[in-house]
Structure 1
Amino acid sequence: RNESFAAVAPTGVGKTFFGVIFSLFLTTKSKRAYIIVPTTLLVNQIVDIIRKYSVKSGHEININETGQQEGVKYRSINVAFYHHSMKKSEREKFIKVINTSNIVITTTQFLSRHFEYLQNMVFDFIFVDDVDAILKSSKNVERILYLLGFNYDNGWKGQSKGCLMVSTATAKVGKKAELFRSLLNFDIGSSSFALRNISDLALKTVDLNSVMTILTEMGGGGIIYACNSEKAAYIYDVLKDKFKIGIVTAERKDDFQKFVDGQLDYLIGTASYYGTLVRGLDLPLRIRFVIFYGAPVFRIRIEDIENISEKMVSVLAYLFRDHEEVKKFLPLTRLNPRKLMALRMTLRKIFQWGEKKIKDKDVVVTAQEIIFPDIRTYIQGSGRTSRLYAGGITKGVSFLLENNDAILQAFINRAKYYDIEFELSEIPEIEFRRLKEEVDKTREKFKLRSEIDIIKPALFIVESPTKVKHISRFFGKPSIKIVDNIPIYEVATSRYILMITACLGHVTDLVVDRGFHGVEVNGKYVPIYSSLKKCKNCNYQFSSENTTCPKCGSSHIDDSRFRINALRKLARDTQFVIIGTDPDSEGEKISWDIKNLLAGCGEIKRAEFHEVTRKAVFQALDNLREININLVKAQIIRRIEDRWIGFILSQKLWEIFNDRNLSAGRAQTPVLGWIIKRAEEFKHKKNIAIIPEWNLVLDSDKEELEVVISLIAEEQTEKIPLPPYTTDTVLRDANLILKFPARKCMELAQDLF
């Protein structure tokens, strides 16, 4: 279908592997693929994967070469790869074969520095793993668009001739990604949930004796992350004579292959987000645990304030938002250069004054710098120990060593936003034997390759677009794509890759041109339904098969059948549908309609939640149920009553008052009758006049009384009526006045509605 998309999924679920295997598959269809990765190690890993699975599929593979061996069952696959560590002769081979290769594999740096070798090529599939590096440069985004077949001439022109897949787990998305949204119909997101089976242990120490104890007790298969390359070299020098250990840096990568082959037990690298050992390594059997020698953090010093980005200035202003000097600049909008410089100077003064009082508990402020925990690097690095496979998730252990109490506590607090709970420990307290057994047990299962469902895609349908946006934010920043003009928000949870979209309420309604107001009566009552239409010009809703609006004649009609067709396409892709319409009879009927219309597209379940909160939605997803047919029947009867009672009464009103805007509903009409009846009864009751301000009650059988009024005082006051209730104010007053919990209040509000 040539649809570009973002693979929003936690670390370790196989996004990279899927992109590589799909590229390999496309070569059998005479198509070309381009794989872009952040590190040299990943280039080599992907080449190894392609080599392995080409052999399994019976294909000859030519890597940075041309030609085909005789006697090969299928045609050959030509692969060209490049990284900066290659010898000059190997680079020359790459340049010769790049234009005739089925698969091209390079680092992001090659795309930036050597685009001239690619600029005349168009690819059927481009896989970007990981998208973070691409988004750092708007030029790289533009280069990818060129490689997909677009051209620029006072604006981007043309259509995509290929498909773009970007892999992201913790991406920070900015304006540079807007071109993907406008030209390729998808938006990049990120997951706040990490699919991980990791014991996170925090130790209030940073010393090599603790490191050596951990290495000895845990055995082989560990990675040590140092805060910088100098510290990594120091650790290596101390440990190299005591352990089979290697070091991997930007300049030195030979030890990595020795680790893969089992010649080394441990590796040392740096804890940076684009570090060689942090991104993309998929070695579930070899990497069993990691040690962070110091918590990964970002530091901003006083002297940095004049050079940091405008976005970081906004972050610092938010941190010191309660400071009187900063309040002058709030709320922060896009600042002109003069105000931006003034804010920088204000923040610098606050630093110099030694201001340390901030509300946020996940940031450390000292006299010289502000320290932010780098959770994204921690998630990526620790994620090397826990990888998804056919039988589950491998168990890993992460040891976080940090001797600064403030930094450690801030790190622990920030990690909670990502559902990571640290266990504070000391070396003597750690149950190394138990941890080793758990780690090794999952790797034994990995070798057996049993098959179970760990995480699967699901189409999650709610009623309103507002709910879609709100719910998707519970799981991180969603990836957004457009399917047949329907926005789809894609996020990852612990059990599902959710594609969240809205059905916009009812999708069917009773017809008007068959049976008795839409119901066939022949011994049985058979409601006849059609898709619900809405005029985009006057908002009139109708269910007839008209192609124009019966009220205003406009041909701009929104027909729900187009949404249903889009939902069918998505349901066939996911094979699992969760319907989360409102928890009442009307919502149940909508769910029933959608289930019937999506029949045959996959398994369909119902999710019930009474409030749009993270906790309620999570509980609903964990407790899926079938559709309650009794509630559906109740709503069907209710709608028939609307037609047979309310609709007919409305027609009477039209005839009497000659106004087709009048209506008499099945509920409003009897209520109005009750009001009229009570009014008539009131006329026959005893008249009592009450004036509460004067504490006066006038009780008499007479219809009229003579009252003498004397003016005592005169004043003029203006009273403004209270505004209508909103969700937050009704929850507040229900709790303060009636002592209702939020859940009960929302259930009552839903029943009232």
Structure 2
Amino acid sequence: MTTELPPSIYLSSCPNCGGEISSFRLAKGSVCSKCLKSEREFTSVFDLVSALKANGNLNRLKTFDEIGRRFRRVAEFFRNSLGFPPLGPQRSWVLRVLKGESFAIVAPPGLGKTTFGLIMAAYFASEEGAKSVIVFPTKTIVQQGVERLQLIAERTKVSFNLVHYHAGLSESQKEEALEALKNGSFDIFLTTTRFVTTNVELLRKVKHRFLFVDDVDAALKASKSARAILEIAGFTEDDIKDVKELLKQAKTDETVYDKIAELRKKRLSDKIVVFSSATITRGSFTVSSLMGFKPGGAVVYLRNVIDAYLRMPGSEDEADQLLLKLAKRLGDGILVFVPVDKGQKKGKQLAELLQDNGIPSEFIASENTRKIGAFANGELKALVGSAFHYGLLVRGLDIPWRVKYAIFYGIPKFKFRIGETPPPFLVSRILSVLATVKQDVELARLAGRVRRRL
């Protein structure tokens, strides 16, 4: 059964001239008959632009002509960097950046979020002479980003001034990086969330076109770092205070959103801000309002990942032997996550167990580039660490080509002392888990009320 469109004429709806256009032409992705006599169907706006340009009738869609040219250059830059053009969602991210949009990416690891941010920064530096600032959660990922940008420069045969700053640098290297930042003598600057938080005054003065914040949840989990991110994006302390006051009036005065939109347009007119995250968070309403988007949102992807489980043996020795058996069978590219209640001592024991039985392994509790580098180049076959939400193995690695397997040595847990006041977001999660386990409707409602107040 086919569904035919009713014959309709839409006023002021031709995307090229703003005149009348029929429903049939709109359904074909075309423009009105005055702009293009052909009844051809278009599946790409760039093909439509080319046809209009050929007959001399390109009008409102002229901006897509320039975006199309730039997109082809970016696609070629991707191909030279990686061996293939932007794939899947990367294509839409590139187009949005080229249109000057600020937006958030919420997607699981391995879909190319960080690669996209790095290549766009390299493209802006080498092709358009624009500066970029990239913020990572840890010094380890900063170092990995530097190495990947150097590889991109080598493969594309372009040059750009790459500057980075993190706690692992020597004092002379830090001074050199700070001096370059103050003088603006850089094309791409990579740093950590911690540096941004403690150097807001300096970064506010740095002129840049592209700001890419990787793992934005880590940056926004504290109000101080969230404020710092907003300020380097271009907002002032007064802007943040004003928006908070305006939001209090939102229930009785809807025009406050127009005022916030005007402020956003003014501050972000010459910048593109992209937030990237692998998880879903509620986010700050102030950040959402100022930036015009939510840092996190529910996005579902189909992924080629097998989830499996085995019942935990009764004794610890049996559990250790089961882990060893699994690791021997899987062989390489293994991350072992140890519940926080078992402590680092247990993690070190498990790493030694694997090492002693022919599986090169290390326990990793803090940022150690040597151990991560050894895993990345294949010297180590397994890394053991804590199953903590902001732990290094959870958020501190960006080497998806090496990670093949994740083994959880028991169920991940939250840990806090009796009498300690846990963070509100943790209370919400605990209540949600309890409500699910106990099938308790009242607990679920309470968890919902806590989430709404965050």
- Match for 1:279 among 390, 395, 404? 395
SS in 2 for 1:42: helix
| Alignment match, 2:242 | 155
Contact in 1 for aligned 2:163/2:177 (Cα 8 Å): yes
**Change in CA separation of 1:58 and 1:184 when aligned onto 2, cut-off 3 Å:** same
Equivalent runs, 1:458-537 vs 2, <5 Å: none
Q: 1:253 to 1:294 in 2, by over 3 A?
A: farther
Q: 1:89 aligns with which of 163, 166, 172?
A: 172
Call closer, same or farther: CA 1:235–1:131 in 2, change over 3 Å. Answer: same
Residue of structure 2 equivalent to 1:186: 293
Aligned residue for 2:151?
Answer: 52
The alignment status of 1:259 with 2:344, answered yes or no, reads no
Query: What is aligned with 1:214?
Result: 326
CA distance in 2, matches of 1:80, 1:12: 26
One-letter code of the match for 2:116? Answer: F
Written as runs of structure 1 = structure 2, the 5 A alignment for 1:158-173 is 158-160=266-268, 161-173=270-282
TM-score, structure 2 normalization:
0.61
For residues 11 and 32 of structure 1, the distance between their equivalents in structure 2, rounded to whole angstroms, comes to 26
Cα distance in 2 between the residues matched to 1:204 and 1:96? 56
TM-score (norm 1): 0.38
Q: How far does residue 299 in structure 1 lie from its aligned partner after superposition? A: 3.9
1:268 to 2:384 alignment: yes
**1:278 Cα offset (Å):** 1.7
User: How far apart, in 2, do the equivalents of 1:285 and 1:93 lie?
Assistant: 33
- Distance change in 2, residues 1:86/1:269 (3 Å): farther
Q: Does 1:238 align with 2:353?
A: yes
**What secondary structure is seen at the aligned counterpart in 2 of 1:48?**
helix
Instruction: Report deviation, 1:283.
Output: 3.2
Q: CA RMSD in A?
A: 3.0
Distance 1:213 1:318 in 2: 34
Q: Which residue of 2 aligns with 1:700?
A: none
CA deviations over 1:464-490 (Å, ceiling 9, x no partner):
xxxxxxxxxxxxx9xxxxxxxxxxxxx
In the alignment, what sits opposite 1:459? none
Which residue does 2:32 correspond to in 1? none
State the partner residue of 1:22. Answer: 120
Count of equivalent residues: 310
What does 1:117-128 correspond to in 2, within 5 Å? 117-128=202-213
Aligned to 1:292: 408
Shift of 1:314: 6.3
| CA distance in 2: counterparts of 1:149 and 1:104, whole angstroms | 16
Of 190, 200, 204, which aligns to 1:105?
190
Equivalent-residue separation in structure 2 for 1:267 and 1:17 (angstroms): 23
Q: Following TM superposition, by how much is the alpha carbon of 1:155 offset from its aligned partner in structure 2, in angstroms? A: 2.9
Name stretches of at least 5 consecutive residues in structure 2 with no aligned partner: 1-98, 244-262
Distance (Å, rounded) in 2 between the aligned partners of 1:234 and 1:101: 45
How far apart, CA to CA, are the structure 1 residues paired with 2:423 and 2:399? 37
Q: Structure 2 residue aligned with 1:40, among 126, 139, 150?
A: 139
Change in CA separation of 1:23 and 1:318 when aligned onto 2, cut-off 3 Å: closer
**How far has the Cα of 1:84 moved from its partner?**
1.7
Q: Which amino acid letter does the alignment assign opposite residue 43 of structure 1?
A: V
The answer (yes or no) to whether the contact 2:361–2:383 under 8 Å persists in 1 is yes
The Cα shift of 1:127 comes to: 0.6
**Do structure 1's residue 129 and structure 2's residue 214 form an aligned pair?**
yes
Q: Give the superposition deviation at 1:105.
A: 0.7
Please say if residues 352 and 362 of structure 2, whose CA atoms lie closer than 8 Å, have aligned partners that are also in contact.
no
Matched, 1:143 2:259: no
In the alignment, structure 1 residue 12 sits paired with structure 2 residue 110: yes
- Aligned residue identity for 1:258: A
CA distance in 1, matches of 2:425, 2:396: 28
Q: CA deviation at 1:166?
A: 0.4
Q: When you count strand as a share of all residues, which structure comes out higher?
A: 1
Shift of 1:25: 0.9
Amino acid at match of 1:150: F
C-alpha separation in 1, matches of 2:430 and 2:275 = 31
Partner of 2:439: 359
Relative to structure 1, the CA distance from residue 357 to residue 303 in structure 2 (aligned partners, 3 Å threshold; closer, same or farther) is farther
In structure 1, list runs of 5 or more residues that go unmatched.
61-76, 322-355, 364-371, 373-476, 478-753
Match of 1:308 among 422, 442, 446: 422
Q: Counterpart amino acid of 2:323?
A: V
Task: Give me the whole-angstrom Cα distance separating, in 1, the residues matched to 2:213 and 2:348.
Answer: 31
Q: Distance in 1 between matches of 2:365 and 2:337?
A: 11
CA distance in 1, matches of 2:188, 2:330: 40
Equivalent residue letter for 2:114: T
Partner-residue secondary structure (3-state), 2:307: strand
* Cα distance in 1 between the residues matched to 2:144 and 2:152: 12
Distance 1:211 1:313 in 2: 32
Q: 2 CA distance for matches of 1:319 and 1:276?
A: 24
CA distance in 1, matches of 2:237, 2:171: 34
CA distance in 1, matches of 2:120, 2:267: 22
Cα deviation, residue 145, structure 1: 2.8
- 2:134 and 2:191 in contact (8 A); partners too: yes
Alpha carbons of structure 1 residues 120 and 214: separation in structure 2 relative to 1, 3 Å:
same
Q: Secondary structure at the match of 1:144?
A: helix
Q: Provide Cα deviations, 1:385-414, integer angstroms capped at 9, x if missing partner.
A: xxxxxxxxxxxxxxxxxxxxxxxxxxxxxx
Aligned counterparts of 1:292 and 1:315: Cα–Cα separation in 2:
20
Structure 1 residues 47 and 268: CA distance shift in structure 2, 3 A: same
The answer as to whether partners of 1:32 and 1:102 remain within 8 angstroms in 2 is yes
One-letter amino acid of the counterpart of residue 308, structure 1 = P
Q: CA deviation at 1:180?
A: 3.5
**How far off its partner does 1:93 sit?**
2.4
Q: Measure how far apart 1:135 and its partner are.
A: 1.4
Equivalent in the alignment of 2:335: 223
Summarize the Cα distance change of 1:145–1:311 in structure 2 as closer, same or farther, 3 Å threshold.
Answer: closer
Give the deviation of 1:125 after TM superposition.
Answer: 1.0
Residue identity opposite 2:388 in structure 1: S
Which of residues 308, 313, 321 is equivalent to 1:201?
308
Percent of aligned positions with the same letter in both sequences? Answer: 31
The structural deviation recorded for 1:59 is: 1.5
Q: State the alpha-carbon separation in 1 of the partners of residues 146 and 173 from structure 2.
A: 14
Cα 1:190–1:232 shift into 2, 3 Å: farther
Report the structure number with the largest CA radius of gyration: 1
Shift in alpha-carbon separation, 1:89–1:193, aligned structure 2, 3 A:
same
Question: Partner of 2:356: helix, strand, or coil?
Answer: coil
SS in 2 for 1:210: helix
Structure 1 residues 303 and 10, CA gap change in structure 2 (3 angstroms): same
Q: Give the secondary-structure state (helix, strand or coil) at the position aligned to 1:34.
A: strand
Q: Structure 2 vs 1, CA of residues 320 and 183 (structure 1 numbering), >3 Å: closer, same or farther?
A: closer
- 8 Å CA contact 2:106–2:280 kept in 1: the answer is no
Q: Using the TM superposition, name which of 24-33 and 204-213 deviates more.
A: 204-213
1:115 matched to 2:200? The reply is yes
Letter in 2 for 1:181: S
Alpha-carbon distance in 2 for matches of 1:312, 1:293: 22
